[in-house]
Amino acid sequence: MKSPAVGIIAITTVAVALAACGDDAGNGATDTLAADTAVADTVVADTAVADTAADTLVADTESDGAGDTLIADTEVPDGGGGEGTCDFPAAAALAHADVPAGYCAATWASGLDDPRGMIVAPSGEVLVVERGKAQVTALWDDDGDGVSGATERAKLAGASGLNHGIALRDGFLYASSATTVFRWAWTSGARADLGAATVVVKSIPSGGHSTRSLRVDDAGRLYVSVGSAGNVDADSSRARIRRFDLASLPSGGFDFASGEVFADGLRNEVGLAWDADGVLWGVQNGVDNLNRGDLGGDIHDDNPGELLSRFATAGAHHGYPWCWAEYQLPAGVGMGRGTMWAHPSSMNDGTHDDAWCRDTTNVQPPALSMQAHSAPLGLVFYDGDAFPAAVKGDVFVAFHGSWNRSPATGYKVVRVHFEGGVAQDPVPFLEYDGAGDIGADWPHRPVDVAVAADGRLLVTSDASNRVMVVGYDPAR
């Protein structure tokens, strides 16, 4: 691994309860505020900085005796683990990937069309939203070669404008467009078109950030996250997670505005995940072009922090658009990562000053403040058995990568460990092996993460139109 340079530090003053295991004028390279490009979701055309480094990842190989060449791992870290999950064809090896010792990275499925949100069905199929086709595609690996081939996939559902959100619960598959949440009756092991969709939520405001992330809880309530209309809105009336009781679904669907405000003041909360206690967590993309004269002027390269939040209290406000969380301010003015500050557009309005933002009766602070413009779009609590035991309960976060920071940052997956319920510094888990975070030979932009049925970690990349996979082998 490269030396950790993510530079993300926990907010040690915020303790978060976590059990041992568990389940778009906008931010850099995250979800669109207007028209997207095919490669990345940006407000303007993405100009990812190309790194000239071209270090080659050399993988040792060995024969499995059946004609395929298998990827060999690097040395094994402490911690043990289950049986190895690195038996991929050598051709699938992910070039220029840097992973921790004992792990391996490969392409699990290629040739997709702008893959975004992803879940794993109880029956093992991997369900991916292909935004370019406005459909949910089921992927599988029936021949057991460690990857999903071109014949091991099928369209499962489609509707106009499907672009990111996906959830599966109680016999229904849910997916979303910018304005609508749909669902289809689903049965375990389904690998064929599910037919016509039913509208569940309608009249979601369009424009601005365009993804509508979805989750359903054990009580049968649907959570829909909608991001801001612009970089800094006048209020938080749009930037929220709303909740709907599916037991009372009306004919024609819920009007979005009728939903309960579950979490308020979230600029663009794309990634959502449950922990082992059934508490919802999310990752937020912060504002762009931050400039505050009293804090050093143009501080946008490293502020505000991208946020990991725990939604333990329904209805709490999380700060946007009036407040932002410090990541790294100039020496002599900063008060530490995670400190809440007022946005310059509202700090002199007579209410929303620094003191207001730091009052926890007004604003719920985050669990973790991360490098600005990393663009976190997906997260998952690791609950598999393929990785070392110490990884259980940790969070993997997909960083889509920046569009307006120099040098560019993100383009990787990081791991967040917890000590005593407190989120620790994230460390790179899947990243580019060259200098910096991005290079001409690293075309990947992670969007979502999920734990496969065999415990491997799956990662969608919309820029390279594939699902990547990270495995582990304790014997190598």
- pLDDT of res. 2: 75
CA dihedral of 137, 140, 145, 146, whole degrees rounded to 10: 80
Q: How confident is the model at residue 81 (pLDDT cuts 50, 70, 90)?
A: low
Peptide bond connecting 304 to the previous residue in cis, omega within 30 degrees of 0: yes
Query: Whole-prediction pTM value?
Result: 0.85
Cα separation of 301 and 328, whole Å? 9
- Nearest-CA neighbor of 116 among 97, 93, 133, 99? 133
Q: How far from 96 is each of 58, 81, 106, 434, CA to CA, in Å?
A: 8, 25, 10, 7
Distance CA 364, CA 14 (A): 10
Are 98 and 57 in contact by the 8 Å Cβ rule? The answer is: yes
Summarize pLDDT for 179-232 with one digit per residue, the tens.
Answer: 999 999 999 999 999 999 999 999 999 999 999 999 999 999 999 999 999 999
Is the predicted pLDDT of residue 403 greater than 70, yes or no?
yes
- What's the CA gap between 323 and 365, in Å, rounded? 10
- By the 8 A CB rule, do 222 and 258 touch? no
Query: What is d(CA 384, CA 375) in angstroms, rounded to the nearest whole number?
Result: 25
* Both structure tokens of 256: 């979005």
Give dist(CA 224, CA 244) in Å, integer: 8
Residue 385's CB: how many other CB atoms inside 10 A?
Answer: 15
Cis-peptide into 321, omega within 30 deg: yes
Residue type, 327: Y
> Phi and psi of 256, rounded to 5°?
-55, -40
Query: Distance (Å, rounded) from C-alpha 262 to C-alpha 319?
Result: 14
Residue 383 confidence (pLDDT):
97
Query: Going by C-beta distance under 8 Å and a sequence separation of 6 or more, which residues neighbour residue 90?
Result: 59, 61, 68, 69, 70, 71
Share of the chain above pLDDT 90, in %: 81
Task: State pLDDT tens for residues 339-387.
Answer: 999 999 999 999 999 999 999 999 999 999 999 999 999 999 999 999 9
**DSSP string for residues in 157-197:** EE-TT--S-EEEETTEEEEE-SS-EEEEE--TT--S---S-
Task: Give 123's contacts (C-beta < 8 A, 6+ positions apart).
Answer: 188, 189, 190
Taken in order 458, 460, 463, 464, the sign of the CA dihedral is positive
182: alpha, beta or left? (left if phi > 0; alpha if psi -120 to 50): beta
> Is the Cβ–Cβ distance between 108 and 417 less than 8 Å?
no
- Decide if 436 contacts 32 (C-beta within 8 A): no
What pLDDT was estimated at residue 352?
98
**Token representation of residue 406:** 């120099």
Average pLDDT, the chain: 87
Please give the angle made by the CA atoms of 366, 213 and 37, to the nearest 5 degrees: 105
Burial of 149 (0-12, 13-18, 19+ CB in 10 A): middle
Contact 70, 87 (CB under 8 A): yes
**Please, which pLDDT band fits residue 121 given cuts at 50, 70 and 90?**
very high
Q: Give the residue carrying structure tokens 């365009």.
A: 210
Question: Which residue has tokens 């143009």?
Answer: 298
Residues with Cβ within 8 Å of residue 422, at least 6 apart in sequence: 10, 11, 12, 14, 15, 16
User: Mind listing the pLDDT tens digit for each residue in 153-174?
Assistant: 999 999 999 999 999 999 999 9
Residue pLDDT, tens place only, 443-474 = 999 999 999 999 999 999 999 999 999 999 98
Q: What is the pLDDT of residue 125?
A: 98
| Torsion of the alpha carbons at 366, 323, 26 and 33, rounded to the nearest 10 | 100
Indicate if the pLDDT at residue 236 is higher than 90: yes
Q: How does residue 318 score in pLDDT terms, banded at 50, 70 and 90?
A: very high
Q: What is the biggest distance separating any 2 CA atoms in the chain, rounded to whole angstroms? A: 74
Q: Which two tokens stand for residue 242?
A: 């709303």
The pair of three-digit structure tokens given for residue 263, joined into one six-digit string:
């979490």
Residues 6+ apart with CB under 8 A from 336: 326
CA distance 114 to 79: 36
